[in-house]
Amino acid sequence: MEALREGMRQEMERDPSVFVMGEGVGPHGSCFKQTEGFTAQFGEDRSRDTPISELAIAGTAAGAALLGMRPIADLMWIDFSMLAMDQICNQAAKLRYISNGQVNVPVVYRMTTGRSKSNAAHHSGSFYSWYINTPGLKVVVPSTPYDAKGLIVSAIRDDGPVIYLEHKLLLNMRGEVPEEAYAIPLGVADVKREGADLTLVATGAMVGLSLAAAEALSKEGVSVEVIDPRTLMPYDGDAILSSVRKTGRLLVVDEGYRYCGFASELIALVAENAFEVLRQPPRQLTPRHTTIPFSPPMEEFVFPDAARIAGEIRAMLGITAQGESSNG
C-alpha cells in the first residue's frame, strides 16, 4: 500500500497533469488508504472525491484523459467495475483505434482484486480475463511492494488505458522499495525463483504461495522455477517459453477461473510454440468454479494454497507424499 502510494505521489509531483479521483480518495485517503495525505499535499482539485457511480468515474476519467490529463481512477473493487464496463471497454479501450491514432487515453483504472478474508460473493472477484480480452487495454497485477511501485509509475506514464489491480491480501505485504522513482516496463516478466524441473507461472497473491511451495519442495530435491508475469496483457510470452524449453513442464497457478482464463491462454501459448519439449501435458491450478463463499473454511476450500500447489507439482513429477517416485 505504501509503495503504491509513494509511486503515485512521486508521479503527481513530477507531472501536474496526474490526479486521482474516486469514492473517498480525498481527505479520507481512499478505502485502503492508498491516497492518504494527497488532499493535504495536492489539494482537492488533484485528489477528487466523486459520487458513488463507477460508470461516472470511469467515463469522466476517460474524458479527462482525452483532454490531456492523466487521471488515476479508483474503482475500489474489481467486482464494482462491472458497472463501468461500457466506459472502460467500449470507450477508453477503443478511442485511439477508432480515431486512427488522433487521440490518446492515458488513464489508469485502479481496483482491488482477489480473495480476502470472508469478503464473500461481491468483493472477492478476479475477473481480469474480461479486460485481457478487450483490445486496447493493458492489465497489471503486481505481487510485491517493489513491483507495485515500479508498475504504477509505468502505468501512469503509459499513453493508453491501463487496468491496475491490487490484490487485497498483498496490501499489507512488506518488502524493500527504493525511495527514488523508478519504472518497471509493462510486459516484462520476472523470474522470482530459478529452477530446472518445472516452470510455475503464478499471478498476484499466488506468487508468494507458489514460492512457499517451491521452497518446501526444494527440501525434497525438486527444483521449481517460479515466474511472475506482472503484466497479464501484454504478457511476456518469450520468458515463459524460454523457461518451459529448459524444464519441459508447465504449471500455471492463477486466481482467475480456469475457463477461458489467463492460465488457459498460457497453456495454449506453450502448446502452440513449445509442444515438442513438453515431457507431459501442462496443467493449471485455479479456484474451484463457484461463487466465492463467505464461510472461512469453504473459502479456503475454493482457493489454491501452498499445500495444493506442492501437491500438484508432486503429481506432475510422479512423486508421492513420502517422496517416492510413482513412475520409477
Angle, alpha carbons 173-179-184 (nearest 5°): 75
End-to-end C-alpha distance for the chain, whole angstroms: 48
- Which residue intervals of the chain are DSSP H helices? 2-14, 38-42, 54-66, 85, 95-98, 128-132, 145-157, 205-218, 237-247, 262-273, 296-302, 306-317
Q: Is 167 a catalytic residue?
A: no
For residue 114, which amino acid is it? G
CB atoms within 10 A of CB 17: 17
Angle, alpha carbons 212-186-175 (nearest 5°): 40
**What Rg do the C-alpha atoms of the chain give, in angstroms?**
20
Q: List the catalytic residue out of 28, 122, 123, 289.
A: 123
Rounded to whole angstroms, the Cα distance separating 71 from 305 reads: 36
Rounded to whole angstroms, the Cα distance separating 249 from 201 reads: 11
**Residue 150 and residue 184 in contact, taking contact as beta carbons nearer than 8 Å:** yes
**Residue 130 and residue 88 in contact, taking contact as beta carbons nearer than 8 Å:** no
Angle, alpha carbons 10-16-18 (nearest 5°): 70
**Which one, of 130, 152, 290, 262, lies nearest residue 206 by Cα?**
262
8-state DSSP, 293: P
Rounded to whole angstroms, the Cα distance separating 237 from 241 reads: 6
Contacts 24+ apart (CB under 8 A), 267-273: 269/237, 269/240, 269/241, 270/240, 270/241, 270/244, 273/237, 273/241
Rounded to whole angstroms, the Cα distance separating 301 from 165 reads: 24
Give the residue numbers annotated as catalytic, written as ranges. Answer: 123
